[in-house]
Amino acid sequence: MIKKIAILTSGGDCPGMNVALKAIVNVAINNKIEPYIVFEGYKGLYDDNFAKITKEEVKFIDRKGGTMIYSARFPQFADLKIRNKAVANLKNRGIEALICIGGDGTYKGAAKLTEMGIKTIGLPATIDNDISSTDYTIGFNTALETIVNAIDNLRDTSESHNRINLVEVMGHGCGDLALNAAIITGAEVLSIPEKKLTIEQIITRLKESDSKRSKIVLISELMYDDLNKIARAIEKELKQETKITVLGHIQRGGRANCAERLLTARMANYAVKMLIANKSGVAVNISNNKLNVKNLLEIVEMKRPSKDELLREYQQLV
Ligand code: F6P
């Protein structure tokens, strides 16, 4: 029976990380397991930056954005010497298991620790929804809501002023945030990594649109070198003023919404349950509203599910 576990959040933060932490602490203590937190993800594991945590300390954190145990990107963890020290730090404290909350980079780190004899469980947390084994990642729903609120606001002013808005959202190579936001907001044009449009195609779609005044062109980040060039080309062809809005890190902040809190609490409970059942080297997923675990390395290698059906639905709806 596991006596002590540690919890860390790693990579880009997202709404829901604090919800996960609170739930893990509660479930662990309810099952007579002592929980420890690690500050700043794998960096803290290496720096020996741990603290014991109580239910009282996490009582209200589910209402807050960010992660109270901080996060970091720590590529140095790929180095065996760094990992050896991290494992030694865990062993010196008698901690046998680790719950790693984050995206695919976090999963790779957890898989390495599993090979080195630490029991690990991953929880998928990233706004990008780019972990193929799960229908939803923690953080996605709230970031989507932030995007939708921003686009709704832009729509108001763009309709008043007869403008086009070029809106860039995050996703890190995955179009889920943009595609789902396009369905919800009725964005007139959508360009995502899974179906990238040329500047000419963007202009053609705008010309074909039935919208008379405001038009939203929703694009995923990291796809075009110069948004300004696209905006000027649109203005020239459509003779309509075109503004650019890059939503940026606003998408990563804020309190997790209800759906997020429910999903996260369920996933976190399941993660501790899986540790107690002696599972290791796996991460929690939700598929068709059912929780399951899959091997960490298999998850990292998995092909992304096709977006074609959802794209067809978007095209019908706009
Ligand atoms: O993975 C989450 C994410 O927000 C991506 O959407 C984005 O590309 C990246 O992180 C930004 O990372 P950083 O905060 O390190 O600039």
Q: Is 301 helix (H, G, I), strand (E, B) or coil?
A: helix
What's the gap in Å between 192 CA and the centre of ligand 1?
16
CATH 3.40.50.450 region(s) of the chain? 4-139+256-301
Q: How would you label 143-172 residue by residue, b for 16+ Cβ within 10 Å and e otherwise?
A: bbbbbeebbeebbeebeeeebbbbbbbbbb
Interval 40-53: pLDDT, tens: 999 999 999 999 99
Q: Is residue 97 within 8 Å of 3, Cβ to Cβ? A: no
Interval 242-290: pLDDT, tens: 999 999 999 999 999 999 999 999 999 999 999 999 999 999 999 999 9
Q: Is 293 helix (H, G, I), strand (E, B) or coil?
A: strand
Task: Kindly indicate the confidence band of residue 17, based on its pLDDT and cuts at 50, 70 and 90.
Answer: very high
What's the gap in Å between 222 CA and the centre of ligand 1?
11
Type of residue found at 104: D
**Protein fold of 141-252:** Rossmann fold (3.40.50)
Q: Give the active site residues.
A: 128
Using alpha carbons, list the distances in angstroms from residue 186 to 243, 246, 309, 318.
Answer: 18, 18, 17, 5
CATH number of 4-139+256-301: 3.40.50.450
Kindly state the tokens that stand for 290. Answer: 């059912």
CATH 3.40.50.460 region(s) of the chain? 141-252
What's the gap in Å between 249 CA and the centre of ligand 1?
8
What is the value of pTM for the model shown?
0.98
Q: From the CA of 251, give the closest atom in ligand 1.
A: 4
- Ligand 1 pocket by Cβ (under 6 Å): 12, 73, 103, 126-128, 170-172, 221, 252
